[in-house]
């Protein structure tokens, strides 16, 4: 039976199978916190699959003209339950992707706000999903682990005692989602992502260096890294992250043995990443000045074990470190030029 389920999931992934709702329509998807690093790209990805008007981006910040032209955008504060209810009802939403959050480094700078956005925000969306029977996806992170967890590798199930408010809020989200699944049958799904790397500006996390390094090196030929050269962390290109999210959201419930899965593509250190970049820009210069983010990174997984995701719903990364550097060199250069900024390389 397990083998049959696995084959079904494999076939559906190969065919680019598109899940449909009970009335045989593509799902209507609402993304909260949609103007951050992951949201804008996620909307583009899912709109190609389910149709432009079926993916609604929401956030509390003013959208750029590009975002407005790309598809529906609505103001929504994650702390306003009634406002969220209205959007779900008016737009007949089926799936909720909950991206609103304060990330690890920025969360430490404003703990009360992180508690509100990350924890109260989660309470709102999970109640909303329960009330309207929505499928709900909430990303978790390598930051949901702490110094007591095994770091190399970090398995799907192990001790979780994070030391950041971000990590605490994500463990809370994982447990609350699992609880609602067992208690109320809520279709809660959660992936623990590693550092996600894309050409868009990151939101204030500990893994941001792996994006900033490309912008600084292409623009100025130099990067000062806030982590030590040998700090190993799990990472993933946004292309793999969005494919993982989409495949996991479409996975038939029967194939899932868990509601929360680790996923990853690779692990590297700043020094190893810089070595790969030298192939493209031989004369660039990197210096190291560790700050408070070093303590966070030192408490996180170094290598993430995603074997359960590979086993249950056929997760398989496609972008390795060489592909990642090649993609980022191209995408970041294009972005810098599009913004009218001069480059030294
Ligand atoms: N980017 C990564 O490396 C990574 C890795 C693991 C998990 N995640 C998770 O993925 C999600 C998205 O991450 P991201 O990198 O896009 O984050 P981001 O910081 O770039 O975006 C978060 C968005 O939340 C919005 N937001 C803040 N307060 C809000 C409020 N009151 N109401 C509504 N929206 C509000 C912000 O305006 C912002 O656009 C987060 O939950 C994060 O924990 C990200
Ligand atoms: C790892 C992830 O959760 C985020 N990029 C952070 O560093 O906070």
45-73 pLDDT tens trace:
999 999 999 999 999 999 999 999 999 99
Ligand nearest to the CA of 73: 1
The structure tokens listed for 137 are 């996806």
Regarding the beta carbon of 143 and ligand 2, being less than 6 Å apart is answered yes
User: Is 166 noted as a catalytic residue in this protein?
Assistant: yes
Where do we find the tokens 């480094």?
A: 105
| Helix boundaries (H) for the chain | 2-14, 39-50, 65-70, 81-90, 104-109, 111-114, 121-131, 165-184, 209-220, 238-250, 270-277, 293-298, 307-313, 321-338
Closest C-alpha to ligand 1, atom 21: 36
- Read off the pLDDT of each residue in 108-129 and give the average, rounded to a whole number: 98
Closest C-alpha to ligand 2, atom 4: 205
- Read off the pLDDT of each residue in 238-263 and give the average, rounded to a whole number: 98
Ligand nearest to the CA of 205: 2
pLDDT of residue 180 exceeding 80, the answer is: yes
The structure tokens listed for 192 are 């623990």
DSSP 200-267: SPP-S-STTHHHHHHHHHHHHSEEEESS-TT--EEEEEHHHHHHHHHHHHHS-GGG-S-SEEE--SEE
Regarding the beta carbon of 162 and ligand 2, being less than 6 Å apart is answered no
- Percent of the chain whose predicted confidence (pLDDT) is above 90: 90
pLDDT of residue 213 exceeding 90, the answer is: yes
Closest C-alpha to ligand 2, atom 1: 195
What are the sequence ranges of the domains in the chain? 2-196+238-264+301-319
pLDDT of residue 342 exceeding 80, the answer is: no
Regarding the beta carbon of 104 and ligand 2, being less than 6 Å apart is answered yes
What pLDDT does residue 18 have? 59
Ligand nearest to the CA of 105: 2
Q: Looking at the CA of residue 170, tell me the nearest atom of ligand 2.
A: 3
What pLDDT does residue 139 have? 99
Question: What SS3 state is found at 175?
Answer: helix
134-176 residue pLDDT tens: 999 999 999 999 999 999 999 999 999 999 999 999 999 999 9
Give the phi and the psi of residue 150 in degrees, each rounded to 5. Answer: -60, 135
2-196+238-264+301-319 — its CATH code?
3.40.50.720
pLDDT of residue 14 exceeding 90, the answer is: no
Q: Looking at the CA of residue 170, tell me the nearest atom of ligand 1.
A: 43
Q: What is the rounded radius of gyration, in angstroms, for the C-alpha atoms of the chain?
A: 20
Catalytic residue, chosen from 50, 73, 166, 223, is 166
Most informative mutation of 38, 102, 297 for ligand 1 (most atoms within 8 A of CB): 38
- Read off the pLDDT of each residue in 184-196 and give the average, rounded to a whole number: 98
Regarding the beta carbon of 238 and ligand 2, being less than 6 Å apart is answered no
Regarding the beta carbon of 36 and ligand 2, being less than 6 Å apart is answered no
Closest C-alpha to ligand 1, atom 39: 36
């Amino acid at each position: 039976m397990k083998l049959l389920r696995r084959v079904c999931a494999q076939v559906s992934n190969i065919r680019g199978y598109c899940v449909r709702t009970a009335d045989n329509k593509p799902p209507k998807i609402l993304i909260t916190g949609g103007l951050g690093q992951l949201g804008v790209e996620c909307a583009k990805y899912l709109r190609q699959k389910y149709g432009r008007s079926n993916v609604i981006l929401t956030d509390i910040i003013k959208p750029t003209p590009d975002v407005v032209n790309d598809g529906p955008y609505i103001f929504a504060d994650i702390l306003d339950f009634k406002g969220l209810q209205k959007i779900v009802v008016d737009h007949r939403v089926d799936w909720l992707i909950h991206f609103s959050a304060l990330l690890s480094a920025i969360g430490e700078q404003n703990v009360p706000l992180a508690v509100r956005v990350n924890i109260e925000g989660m309470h709102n969306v999970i109640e909303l999903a329960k009330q309207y029977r929505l499928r709900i996806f909430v990303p978790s992170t390598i930051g949901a682990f702490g110094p007591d967890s095994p770091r190399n590798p970090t398995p799907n199930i192990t001790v979780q005692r994070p030391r950041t408010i971000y990590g605490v809020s994500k463990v809370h989200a994982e447990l609350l989602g699992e609880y609602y699944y067992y208690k109320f049958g809520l279709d809660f799904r959660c992936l623990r992502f590693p550092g996600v790397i894309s050409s868009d500006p990151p939101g204030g996390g500990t893994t941001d260096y792996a994006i900033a390094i490309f912008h600084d090196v292409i623009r100025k030929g130099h990067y000062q890294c806030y982590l030590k050269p040998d700090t190993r962390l799990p990472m993933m290109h946004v292309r793999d992250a969005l494919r993982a999210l989409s495949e996991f959201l479409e996975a038939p419930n029967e194939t899932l043995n868990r509601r929360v899965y680790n996923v990853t593509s690779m692990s590297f250190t700043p020094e190893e990443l810089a070595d790969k970049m030298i192939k493209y820009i031989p004369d660039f210069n990197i210096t190291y000045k560790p700050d408070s983010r070093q303590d966070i990174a030192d408490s996180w997984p170094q290598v993430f074990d995603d074997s359960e995701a590979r086993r249950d719903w056929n997760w398989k990364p496609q972008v390795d470190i060489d592909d990642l550097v090649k993609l980022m060199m191209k995408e970041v250069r294009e972005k810098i030029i599009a913004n009218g900024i001069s480059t030294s390389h």
